[in-house]
Amino acid sequence: MNRSVLLVSLVAGLALFGQRPNTPRGMYCGGNQLVDMGLLRAESVSGSVADPAGSAIPRARIQVQIQGDERILHDIVANEKGKFHLMSLRPGVYWLGISSPGFNLHFWELRVLRDAGAKTMRVKLSLGT
């Protein structure tokens, strides 16, 4: 098989599966899309979850997963005001995913580093289609 056929086969295979490599696998998604929010470095993470208009999303789901492993290490829900706290994370490279019914899964590559400090996020989820 020559390189161009291999490349076309690889691209077609990725399109069929709907997720590119290096994305979370098995996380809850209330919508139908994964939204890559980039890199986050922190020792602990807290914040609030809102809809596109800025209204709090109570009970939004926040998950942490080791990259390359489908097991979910932390699976918590935001409180009634959309606030959450993730503490005591071990140093490593994870996926952080946040979603709620009717909203897409927003995810970050989370690098937990000692002395990286606490990060506070204000997350606005996009509507699922």
- Encode pLDDT of 3-22 as tens digits: 544 444 444 444 444 444 48
Task: Report the predicted TM-score, pTM, of the whole model to 2 decimal places.
Answer: 0.82
Structural domains of the chain, ranges and CATH numbers in brackets? 24-124 (2.60.40.10)
Strands (E), 3-124: 34-42, 44-50, 61-66, 72-77, 83-86, 92-99, 105-112, 118-124
CA 67 to CA 79: how far, in whole Å? 26
Q: Is the pLDDT of residue 84 over 60?
A: yes
DSSP annotation of 89 reads P
Cα distances from 61 to residues 2, 4, 28, 91, in angstroms, run: 45, 42, 8, 22
pLDDT digits (tens, 9 = 90+) for 19-57: 444 899 999 999 999 999 999 999 999 999 999 999 999
